[in-house]
Amino acid sequence: MDKKWHIESKLAQIGSVEEPVTGAVNYPIYQATAFRHPRLGQSTGFDYARTKSPTRAVLEQAAAELECGDAGFACSSGMAALQTVFMMFAQGDHLIVSLDLYGGTYRLLERILAKFGVTASYVDTNDLDKLESVRQPNTKALFIETPTNPLMMVTDIGKVSSWAKQHQLLTIVDNTLLTPYFQRPLELGADIVVHSATKYLGGHNDVLAGIIVTKGEKLSAEMFFLHNSLGAVLSPSDSYQLMRGMKTLALRMDRHQSNALAIAKYLQNHPQVAEVFYPALPDHPGYEIQNQQSSGNTGIFSFKVTDARYVEPVLRHLKLITFAESLGGVESLMTYPAVQTHADIPLEIREAVGVDDRLLRFSVGIEHVNDLIEDLGQALEAASVEVEGGEIHE
Ligand code: PLP
């Protein structure tokens, strides 16, 4: 890929120029797990597929270039990517982690990493005083989601990564919600980027994948060692599928963003909605930082209904929007974080952050915005009729 190309061109051209034998514009799926050695001591560059595999290698190179990093690693899921990254740490190490966080990441840290003596403190990662107050002599890294899932809290990546550097801490950013199309944390000072590529990168709710991108030779070599040693690598066919999805990332993200903004504004004025959490709205506390460090907004936001009794009927009455537990695909999905994605976070932490029984998370798809607004409107109205009585207006 030419460094001078805009990201839209880089995305559309993933894998298009790498296949020298036939000139195929889509890089093929090399299913092989073993590769012939020309002679003793010689290699084609590929020896065994867990270590390096051709289709995956094209994806990994593209991911590194898109995130402006030095090396990319494709994993069998976002959790596999997170696990691989966290395996850098050893017994006695401590991490500082975003307070509002994907529930699976919390579960990995508290139920698995903790068994190996790696501990974590959860704070508002945009607050330097709070970061300083939990920093310990054994703190090794700062792990942030920005915006966070599901409450969309924004962290200033440049500010916190320079604080982290002063204290010799690594900055790791989960960039799932914005993708490199809108935000490139490594350019802002972070050291490692992680993705659940199952979400926007894949974009079609049909491939489970994770991506890691590292900056610097030393970190890249360490991640290569961990990726190969742990073995949670992405298969050749899933690598192909992911690249196919990534080619249209720019188009999809533009549409996700414009749909989400229109619907968030609609919900802000809806009598059954108490609050909308979306950094694209000027009254969101992270609005300015988000605008400075990103070129756009995600297609996900959360909102609280005024009465928890609305939640069940709203989910039941949705017709176009699907009640399902994921985000970032072309189809609109509604999630109830308290009982789905964030159920593994203890109630007191969830409630302190605001992930309560009135919160719904909406992953806005690329359908026509008017159809989505109409669907939400009718589901909220039907819920109100069920809870308060009254008539449905046709
Ligand atoms: N990070 C974030 C922000 C997520 O939302 C998720 C999954 O929802 C993950 C990581 C884990 O990714 P996966 O489900 O692909 O394992």
For 134-158, the pLDDT digits (tens) are 999 999 999 999 999 889 999 999 9
CA 270 to chain centre: 29
Catalytic option among 93, 100, 174, 191: 174
In this predicted structure, the answer to whether residue 355 has a pLDDT above a threshold of 80 is yes
In this prediction, residue 393 carries a pLDDT of 67
105/97 Cα distance (integer angstroms): 10
Atom in ligand 1 nearest the alpha carbon of residue 210: 15
**pLDDT the model gives residue 232:** 98
* CA angle, residues 173, 179, 183, in degrees to nearest 5: 70
Say if residue 244's pLDDT is above 80.
yes
Please, what CATH class does the domain formed by 249-386 belong to?
Answer: alpha beta
Q: Which residue from 77, 153, 198, 302 has its CB within 8 A of the most atoms of ligand 1, so it is best to mutate?
A: 198
CA distance 350 to 362: 18
Burial class of residue 204 (count of CB atoms within 10 Å of its CB; 0-12, 13-18, 19+): middle
Residue pair 131/160 in contact (Cβ under 8 Å)? The answer is yes
Q: What DSSP assignment string belongs to 127-149? A: -HHHHHHH--TTEEEEEEESS-T
Which atom of ligand 1 lies closest to the CA of 81?
16
Atom number, ligand 1, closest to the C-alpha of residue 209? 15
Mean pLDDT, to the nearest integer, of 346-374?
Answer: 92
Q: What is the pLDDT of residue 343?
A: 79
Side by side, which strands form the sheet with 359-363?
273-277, 300-305, 359-363, 333-335, 322-323
Q: Across the chain, what does the average pLDDT equal? A: 95
Torsion (CA) 197, 200, 203, 207 in degrees, nearest 10: 20
Classify residue 315 by burial, with Cβ atoms within 10 Å: 0-12, 13-18, 19+.
Answer: middle
CA distance 364 to 61: 29
Are the beta carbons of 354 and 337 closer than 8 angstroms? Answer: no
Q: CB–CB of 385/378 below 8 Å?
A: no
The Å distance, Cα 102 to ligand 1 centre, comes to 7
Residue 238 pLDDT greater than 80, yes or no: yes
Question: Mean pLDDT over residues 353-364, rounded?
Answer: 93
pLDDT exceeds 70 at position 84: yes
pLDDT higher than 80, residue 324: yes
How far is ligand 1, taken at its centre, from the CA of residue 150, in Å?
12
pLDDT at 390 over 80: no
> Is any atom of ligand 1 closer than 6 Å to the C-beta of 174?
yes
Q: Residue 321 — very low, low, confident or very high, per pLDDT cuts 50/70/90?
A: very high
* Domain locations along the chain: 7-246, 249-386
Average pLDDT over residues 52-77: 97
User: Among this protein's residues, is 50 annotated catalytic?
Assistant: yes
State how far the Cα of 241 lies from the Cα of 245, in Å rounded to an integer: 6
Decide which of 383 and 19 is more confident: 383
How does residue 394 score in pLDDT terms, banded at 50, 70 and 90? low
* 85, two tokens: 């990254």
Residue listed under structure tokens 């008539």: 391
Euclidean distance between CA atoms 94 and 91, whole angstroms: 9
The whole-number pLDDT of residue 16 equals 86
Q: Angle between the 217-230 and 78-86 helix axes, to the nearest 10 degrees? A: 120
CB 286 within 8 A of CB 152: yes
Query: What integer pLDDT is reported at residue 351 of this predicted model?
Result: 81
Active-site hit among 10, 30, 56, 102: 102
Q: How far is CA 229 from CA 52, 81, 198, in A?
A: 12, 13, 23
* DSSP letters spanning 287-324: HHHHHHH-SS--SEEEEEES-GGGHHHHHHH-SSSEE-
Cα–Cα distance, 103 to 343 (Å, whole number): 7
199 noted as active-site residue: yes
pTM: 0.96
Model pLDDT for residues 269-304, shown as the tens digit of each residue: 999 999 999 999 999 999 999 999 999 999 999 999
pLDDT by residue (tens digit) across 92-150? 999 999 998 898 999 999 999 999 999 999 999 999 999 999 999 999 999 999 999 88
Q: Does ligand 1 come within 6 angstroms of the Cβ of 77?
A: yes
Q: Is 196 in the pocket of ligand 1 (CB under 6 A)?
A: yes
**pLDDT, tens digit (0-9, with 9 covering 90-100), for 193-219:** 999 999 999 999 999 999 999 999 999
Percent of all residues in the chain with a pLDDT value above 70, rounded to a whole number: 99
Residue nearest to atom 11 of ligand 1 (CA): 78
Q: Which CATH class is domain 7-246?
A: alpha beta
Give the mean pLDDT of 59-74: 98
